[in-house]
């Protein structure tokens, strides 16, 4: 859906207020310094009286809601907040404000920002716009009754005029919507075969070059780690997708690679998951969808560096051909791996993908995966874990999360963790039989396949799914990582 943005630096008049039925308003707290005759807009008194009735003294963490006494009974969700509010809290508030309009499903939303500096006003407006775009994105549904389509087609912004027109917000929202919609598709609707079809269509639309390393090609490349997982599938449709975006103004030699785990369904394999843990495993491909959504957003923004997206597409099936504990397999770089647990399949497909990708000597690899339960147990589902071979980047990675509102936390990758994955029979164990730090061990395992001292960041997507949504995203499926990565790359946090 195409949503138009109209911007006016002035505050709304009586005519504007009366003609728009749904409003989002953010005012600067404390209000006594914000409100003046110059900044007054229609029904301002009623709005402030409503807030006073609720006896709100501090900045708002929940929206104040009321219907205005005009001909449309315009429905308003507004808040008075301090400019120092964190990006995460601001986006969360924006999601709640937009949700107040969900039942009316408006075609137009009016947005008012007042009382802030220009930079802060833009930040407040960006959060509201991003929340509105996230809520209006169409997600897959297979209900037999006719579904109500989102009507939102216009956002009317009052109180500032941003020169760039919030292009980054729109591009990021489009990338995130793609990530979420792919991740929500049922596993019989998004097999590796169907996924590849979707990717080919998106590649054509965006003029990306596409290569697909099918199983025959991967056998020639001796990618035994990937093939160990895919060999259990009844259909040989697994493989590695390689997409290439090259802008006209690209700086040569500064390629960014986005790598994603694309397990379209994870049964656990021979070490079969219990029912409660298997339900929802169609989203085990969300890492690949984050990589794809990030590539889409960067393309829409004409990012000035070449970007490649490598997606490891497979199923982790059970069956007579499925790999099993104690197998020893050989990855494409010659590393021998002793299999410990077949449910640790993500690191297997990623190991060959990272080895093949790093052979191209990019300047940076970002990889994404719903990789371990241990990361979720460590930091919950409101943060994602990050790991890097550049320890000096830790503070920058945290800052990029704080600024984007998609928060991350770095974990250690010290060499002595390798003691837990030493093998008596192979170069390395796939994982440890001990519990507790599998997110770190998985990252240590992956790091050995990142060659040529390539700078590398791995994101373990513990925040990929959260009941009720997260930050500005209203669905349980979050698409976490697209907004973070676009912000990280466009603002050069990693120097």
Q: Answer yes or no: is 89 within a domain.
A: yes
| Whether residue 198 sits in one domain with residue 306 | yes
**pLDDT above 70 for 444:** yes
Catalytic residue among 347, 407, 429, 483: 347
pLDDT digits (tens, 9 = 90+) for 291-326: 999 999 999 999 999 999 999 999 999 999 999 999
The number of domains in the chain is: 2
Q: Report which secondary-structure segment, H or E, holds 338.
A: strand 336-338
pLDDT in tens, 85-122: 999 999 999 999 999 999 999 999 999 999 899 999 99
Q: Is it the case that residue 342 has pLDDT exceeding 80?
A: yes
Rounded CA gap, 130 and 484, in Å? 13
CA distances from 249 to 186, 244, 245, 246, 493 (A): 39, 15, 12, 8, 21
H or E, element range at 144:
none
Residue 128 is part of a domain; what is its CATH number?
Answer: 3.40.220.10
3-state secondary structure of 95: helix
Decide which of 118, 136, 154 is a domain's last residue: 136
Given 222, 273, 359, 390, which residue is catalytic?
Answer: 273
- Same structural domain, 242 and 306: yes
Asked if residue 40 has pLDDT above 80, the reply is no
Mean pLDDT of 190-204: 98
Q: Examine residue 146 and state whether it is found in any structural domain, yes or no.
A: no
Nearest-angstrom CA–CA distance, 395 and 182: 32
Predicted structure pTM score: 0.96
Q: Are residues 82 and 192 both part of a single domain? A: no
pLDDT of residue 149: 75
Report the CATH number at residue 335.
3.40.630.10
Residue 288 lies in a domain: yes
* 344 and 424, same domain (yes or no): yes
For residue 112, tell me if it sits in a domain: yes
Q: Which of 108, 136, 164 is the last residue of a domain?
A: 136
Res. 8: pLDDT tops 80 = yes
Range of the domain at 54: 4-136
Q: Residues 366-373: what's their mean pLDDT?
A: 98
Q: Can you tell me whether residue 388 is helix, strand or coil?
A: strand
Are residue 341 and residue 466 in the same domain, yes or no? yes
- Whether residue 273 lies in the annotated active site: yes
With a cut of 90, say whether residue 240 has pLDDT above it. Answer: yes
- Are 193 and 285 within one domain? yes
What value does the mean pLDDT take over residues 444-449? Answer: 98
Question: Average pLDDT of 224-251?
Answer: 93
Give the pLDDT confidence of 470-486 residue by residue, as tens digits. Answer: 999 999 999 999 999 99
Confidence check: pLDDT of 208 > 60: yes
Contacts 24+ apart (CB under 8 A), 300-304: 300/167, 300/170, 300/171, 300/174, 300/175, 301/167, 301/168, 301/171, 301/486, 301/490, 302/247, 302/249, 303/245, 303/247, 303/489, 303/490, 304/247, 304/249, 304/250, 304/251
Task: Identify whether residues 119 and 199 lie together within a single domain.
Answer: no
* pLDDT for position 2: 87
* Domain annotation covers residue 202: yes
Catalytic status, residue 448: no
Domain match, 194 and 304 both: yes
Residues 274 and 413 placed together within one structural domain of the fold: yes
Strands (E), 141-245: 154-158, 209-214, 239-245
């Amino acid at each position: 859906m195409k949503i138009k943005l109209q911007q006016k630096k002035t505050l709304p008049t009586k005519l504007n207020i009366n003609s728009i039925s749904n409003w989002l308003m953010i005012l600067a707290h404390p209000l006594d310094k914000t409100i003046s005759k110059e900044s007054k807009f229609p029904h301002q008194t009623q709005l402030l009286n409503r807030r006073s009735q609720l006896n709100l003294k501090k900045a708002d963490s929940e929206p104040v809601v009321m219907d205005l006494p005009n001909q449309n009974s315009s429905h308003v969700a507004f808040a008075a907040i301090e400019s120092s509010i964190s990006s995460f809290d601001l986006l969360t508030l924006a999601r709640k404000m937009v949700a107040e309009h969900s039942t009316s499903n408006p075609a137009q939303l009016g947005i008012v920002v007042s009382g802030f500096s220009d930079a802060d006003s833009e930040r407040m407006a960006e959060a509201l716009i991003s929340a509105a775009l996230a809520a209006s994105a169409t997600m897959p549904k297979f209900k037999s009754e006719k579904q109500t389509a989102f009507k939102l087609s216009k956002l009317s912004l009052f109180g500032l005029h941003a020169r760039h027109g919030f292009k980054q917000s729109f591009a990021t929202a489009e990338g995130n919507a793609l990530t979420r919609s792919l991740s929500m598709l049922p596993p019989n609707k998004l097999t590796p075969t169907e996924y590849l079809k979707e990717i080919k269509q998106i590649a054509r639309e965006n003029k990306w070059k596409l290569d697909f390393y099918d199983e025959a090609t991967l056998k020639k490349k001796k990618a035994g780690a990937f093939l160990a997982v895919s060999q259990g599938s009844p259909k040989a449709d697994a493989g590695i997708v390689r997409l290439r975006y090259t802008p006209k103004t690209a700086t040569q030699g500064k390629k960014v690679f986005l790598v994603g785990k694309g397990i379209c369904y994870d049964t656990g394999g021979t070490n079969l998951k219990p029912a409660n843990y298997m339900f929802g495993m169609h989203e085990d491909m969300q890492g690949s969808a984050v990589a794809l959504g990030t590539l889409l957003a960067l393309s829409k923004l004409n990012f000035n560096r070449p970007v490649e997206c490598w997606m490891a597409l497979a199923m982790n099936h059970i069956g007579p051909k499925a790999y099993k504990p104690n197998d020893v397999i050989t990855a494409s770089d010659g590393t021998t791996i002793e299999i410990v647990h077949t449910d640790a399949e993500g690191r297997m497909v990623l190991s060959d993908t990272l080895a093949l990708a790093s052979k191209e000597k990019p300047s940076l690899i970002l990889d994404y995966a719903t990789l371990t339960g241990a990361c979720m147990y460590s930091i919950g589902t409101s943060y994602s874990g990050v790991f890097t071979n550049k320890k000096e980047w830790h503070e920058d990675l945290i800052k990029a999360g704080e600024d984007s509102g998609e928060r991350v936390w770095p974990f250690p990758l010290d060499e002595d963790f390798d003691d837990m994955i030493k093998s008596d029979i192979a170069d390395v164990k796939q994982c440890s039989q001990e519990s507790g730090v599998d997110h770190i061990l998985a990252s240590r395992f992956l790091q050995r396949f990142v060659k040529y001292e390539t700078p590398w960041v791995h994101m373990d997507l513990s925040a990929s799914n959260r009941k009720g949504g997260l930050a500005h995203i209203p669905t349980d499926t979050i698409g976490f990582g697209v907004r973070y990565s676009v912000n990280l790359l466009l603002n050069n946090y990693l120097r």
